[in-house]
Chains A and B, each alone.
Chain A
Amino acid sequence: MEERDTLLIADDVMINRELLKDIFEGKYNILEASDGEEAIELLHKYKDKIALLFLDLVMPKKDGLEVMHYMSLNNMISTIPVIMITGEATVESDVKAYELGAADIIYKPFEPAVVTRRAKNIIELYQHRISIENELAIRTKELRESKRKIEQSNIFLTNALSSVVEFRSMESGEHIQRVKRLTRIMLRHWRALYGQKQFTDEQIELMVNASALHDVGKIAIPDNILLKPGRLTDEEYEEMKKHTIYGCQMLEHFKQEETEFYRYSYEICRYHHERYDGRGYPDGLSGEDIPIWAQVVSIVDVYDALVNKRVYKESFTPEETYRMIHRGDCGTFSPKLLKCFDDAKKDMIEATE
């Protein structure tokens, strides 16, 4: 960063400029402007060199207020402190100067000792602030970058874990990616429908990533059940239903801390087969006791299973699937969720094509 070693003195009266010049001669480079236009030209040319501006309010061509206005428009107010020079101290003019962004006010006649000290303090204050802000900007950028990297590896690991299950189930591997896409669509529609305050973009992305893990517990289901082409016996079906609990047990094992992501993952694993009327599993939750992210994944999971071919069934068209879900063929969903499901229909169909 360039060093700011220059003072700009803007006053139409030569004697006033000379007095200030005498005070700072030898300590700073001095630029002088005898009207507002000159001051603006010099500000433009030396904006990275000027450490402080002494500004007279009453000047020909452009006055002090216009100079301050120019500085505001060009983002100079926060980097170049302005000390307003004024002949008289009235509360109104002082308040006005501060409102415009002046760092300080000095009154004529100038007392060298006071002027020197105030200028020094203000220059130090601004330069300190500028360097802290620069430092902060660098740190923020680094933080954002490392956060992005962590998020990337988080997504990668989540996908890896969930594709292990798919691989074992001999599925194509696209179900997980589609569930993620459809979950995102549903959550955005949910937010549009029921209010922006529901979740942030960031929370939606956490839920989307968590949705990839919904069936992770299936890894603990024996092959003869998981891969059975025909209908499951009642006993086998009971075991199959436990994938919701197994998933949660696995998550508990490698949990490090109770993060938001962990909570979404856990609840999606456990509750994505619960139903609005309480007839789902494993806990028989009903109504709004089922977290919305789990409700969303449950409907999305059903929708995607129906529109795609599986070992045990043929596929349905999206229209048929919509009808079946509304009819309650796959269990009962909440009216609010179904409204959102309808709202999202166009996007849902596009995403599965």
Chain B
Amino acid sequence: MIEEFYNQIGGDYSKAISRMQNDERIQKYLKFFLMDESYNQLKTAIEANDCESAFRGAHTLKGVCQNMAFENLSKIVEQITEELRAKEFEKALATFPNVAEEYQKVIDGINEII
């Protein structure tokens, strides 16, 4: 079930299991992921044209995604993080819908299995 979820969202289940030991642990972290505020920080800051705050949100979200082995989401968040770090706000604005799309996939997937 968890493995299917990882396949479905473009994650790396084998990395996840090596880090978190077993499915129950992973499930616990998936719940934590739902509570994580970094995506909302990024979204709000993008809407408010706040590059600095958007960078911090993206940076945090990237770390979390990497730890969770959400590879697809990690990649796109990494891209927006670098754009924001370089203060290329226009580019980041164009990238954000892709972030939102991947993020939504993960959230929907989690909601299905817990």
Contact = CB atoms under 8 A, between A and B. Distances in A.
Interface string A56-96: 00100000000000000000000000000001000000000
A109 interface: yes
Given A13-B38, A58-B59, A108-B67, A18 B21 contact: no
Contacts of A16: 63-64, 67
A19 interface: yes
Interface residues on B, range: 20 to 34
A60 B75 CA distance: 25
Interface string B32-61: 110110100000000000000000100110
A18 B19 contact: no
A15 B20 contact: no
Contact of A18 (B32, B56, B60, B69): B32
A58 B66 contact: no
A22 B59 contact: no
Interface residues of A, number: 15
A12 interface: yes
Contacts of A110: 19, 67
Nearest to A56: B63
A161 interface: no
A14 interface: yes
Contact of B64 (A13, A22, A111, A112): A13
Contacts of A58: 56, 59-60
A18 B62 CA distance: 16
Interface string B5-40: 000000000010011110001001100110110100
Interface in A103-118: 108-112
Given A15-B33, A15-B67, A19-B67, A111 B60 contact: no
B19 A108 contact: no
Interface in A252-268: none
A111 B19 contact: yes
Given A58-B56, A109-B69, A13 B20 contact: no
B23 to A, nearest CB: 14
Contacts of A12: 60
A14 B32 contact: yes
Given A13-B63, A22-B25, A109 B35 contact: no
B80 interface: no
A15 B32 contact: yes
A22 B32 CA distance: 14
Nearest to A19: B67
B73 interface: no
A111 B14 CA distance: 12
A13 B19 contact: no
Contacts of A18: 28-29, 32
Contacts of B92: none
A19 B33 CA distance: 12
Interface of A: 12-16, 18-19, 22, 58, 87, 108-112
20 contacts: A12-B60, A13-B63, A15-B29, A15-B33, A15-B36, A16-B63, A18-B28, A19-B20, A19-B67, A22-B21, A58-B59, A87-B59, A108-B63, A109-B15, A109-B19, A109-B66, A109-B68, A110-B19, A110-B67, A111-B18
Interface of B: 15, 18-21, 25, 28-29, 32-33, 35-36, 38, 56, 59-60, 62-64, 66-69
Q: Sorted from nearest, which 3 A-B pairs have the closest CB atoms?
A: A109-B66, A87-B63, A109-B67
